[in-house]
Structure 1
Amino acid sequence: MRAEIDRLDDELLGVLEKRVSIVSDIAAAKKDDGRSLAFRPGREAQVLRRILETHSSDLPGAVIARIWREMISAVCRLQKPHRVSVTAPEKSVGYWDLARSHFGSATPMSLHVSPTVVLREVSTDPATLGVLPWMNAEKDSWWVHLAQGGETVPKILAALPFSPNQGGAFEDLNALVIGQSQPEPSGNDTSLMVLVTSEEVSRARLNDIIGKADLPGHCIDSRSPEVEEGDWLHLFEMPEFVSDDDERLSRLMALAGEGAIKVVILGAYAVPLSEA
């Protein structure tokens, strides 16, 4: 039996090396595709969902997910190197572990108390991904920066943790991953959007407008302007993938009336397995 285990180890290593070789061929084929990162959270979510639905061993799903996450992260960096900047205002070890579990043991990471530092690093370096706390939208304000929109303003790309791990010490922590890439659908997604208005609008009115525009979801936060002549920002959560060119956004602007200034898609993320 031990000899059989040795044989299987060799077989596993051979299959892994073959997989890495194919990834290297893919990297060479898309070397000039213009993407700043090889990070494909939508594709990764699809792979993990399929693997966890298929596996039938006695190993816990969390262990299977961790093995595949480590492999996916490693081969992703082989295509295009990247680093991760983590915000941890509280329970620093928990947020660090959350990011390390998702991005693998060898991914370069840095830890910062302020989300402003993470936002700056991601905005100035296309090869940096940011991890920002998302425990309660009412207490978070970094999304206001994303609402500016623009070429170098990051997008929301993923949510952590994607796969549950009951052995973790900080299961209550949640975070979002941002980067200078376009989000992609995974088949089961949540999108975040901001409607900018020149005046205050009630939450009931906002929910009525989004419903009439045939967009799912609801308003989860509104921010008053910091200066007298500033704008109001209204954050919406939508249980499907919504892209920047979705025709329903034009309908939303029309229904919002003259006070509507713009609508900004902050990004989207694959619904975590625990929620699905």
Structure 2
Amino acid sequence: MTTTNNELDTLRLEIDRLDAELLSVLEKRIAIVEHIAAAKSSDGKALAFRPGREASVLRNILSLHSSKLPAAVVAAIWRELISAVGGMQRPYSVSITAPDKSVGYWDLARFHFGSATPMKLHQLPSVVLREVSENPATLGVLPWLSRERDTWWQHLAQGGDNVPKILAALPFIDNPAGGFEDLSSLVIGQAEPEASGDDVTLLAVMTTSEPSRARLNEQLTKAGLPGFCSDSRPPDTKDGDWLHLIEIGEFISKSDPRLVTLGETIGESFIKTVILGAYAVPIK
């Protein structure tokens, strides 16, 4: 019994030592972040939210992880750290749309953005779109349950300096304990999307007439774009234009020459293409 107690005391002392070591390493990491924040103080960017970089970091951490600790727990630790230090560089808040299952949407956003990030809950996507458009320090979380039922993406298709872009998809990692399976959402904000190494780009293609989705898919293939048309919306007025939601299985920049080729392939009915944003492919 004495030997067992001595061993336990030794192990507990080792845990205390490791806790102190972890805290010391954490404080060193925070100090580096403060230097980065100082270097960025005059670059004009509104947010320290770097979804592509964050996705790459988390993928790397989970690839190195080998303990019995659940991957969702490891991800939660790093999400808390990433969100907190991002808020230290430039404070931001999150506005969430939750037409139903409000607690689930709230939990989904809280898991990703951490316990220290200010969040607000709204029933209507229009309120979130307005808040994000008016405040560059606000991110929005909008439901992405069914392309056929979601219309908020049409507001992003107008383009422009203050029009938000899609930046991330939630949940980024499955959490069996959270029940997020039916609550997939997209994050929008006044920032430029960035590549993570494994991404999906969302485009809006505007045409004067109604092409079939099958035809659009063929034209995407001819343009060398690995994607498909997931939704088409008719014009609101008699003289209006058709709007098509395109999903591409890689990161596409606005200068990609394949976008020009797509317009040429569509032909006379083509008006323009608008990049709605991109998101890192979630970890399953």
TM-score, structure 1 normalization: 0.98
Determine helix, strand or coil for the equivalent of 1:32: coil
Q: Identity rate of aligned residues, in percent?
A: 66
- Aligned AA (1:177): V
Which amino acid in the other structure matches residue 31 of structure 2? S
Gaps of 5+ in 1: none
Aligned to 2:98: 88
Q: Please give the alpha-carbon distance, in whole angstroms, between the structure 1 residues aligned to 2:177 and 2:160.
A: 40
Structure 2, gaps ≥5 residues long = 1-10
Distance (Å, rounded) in 2 between the aligned partners of 1:171 and 1:241: 25
User: Does structure 1 conserve the Cα–Cα contact (< 8 Å) formed by 2:194 and 2:278?
Assistant: yes
What is the CA–CA distance in structure 2 between the aligned matches of 1:46 and 1:170, rounded to whole Å?
22
In structure 2, what is the equivalent of residue 66 of structure 1?
Answer: 76
| 1:206 aligned partner, one-letter code | L
The one-letter code matched in structure 1 to 2:88 is L
Match of 1:258 in 2: 268
**For residues 220-241 of structure 1, what are the alpha-carbon distances to aligned partners after superposition, in whole Å with 9 as ceiling and x for unaligned?**
0000011111110011111000
After the TM superposition, which residues 124-203 of structure 1 pair with which residues of structure 2 at under 5 Å, given as runs? 124-203=134-213
Q: Which has the larger radius of gyration?
A: 2
Equivalent of residue 214 in structure 1, options 195, 208, 224: 224
Please tell me whether the aligned partners of residues 174 and 180 of structure 2 are also in contact (alpha carbons under 8 angstroms).
no
SS at match of 1:218: strand
Q: Are positions 1:239 and 2:249 aligned together?
A: yes
Deviations 1:183-214 (A, max 9, x none): 00000000100110111111111111111111
Give CA-to-partner distance per residue, 1:64-90, whole Å, 9 cap, x none: 000000000000000010000000001
CA distance in 1, matches of 2:132, 2:253: 21
Q: What is the distance in 2 between the residues matched to 1:205 and 1:262?
A: 17
What is the number of residues matched between the two proteins?
274
How large is the Cα RMSD of the aligned pairs? 0.7
Compute the displacement of 1:92 (Å). Answer: 0.4
Q: Secondary structure at the match of 1:18?
A: helix
Runs of 4+ more than 4 Å apart: none
- Residue 35 of structure 1 pairs with residue 82 of structure 2: no
- SS of equivalent to 2:206: strand
Q: Secondary structure at the match of 1:71?
A: helix
2:23 is aligned with 1:13: yes
Q: Which moved more, 1:2-11 or 1:176-185?
A: 2-11
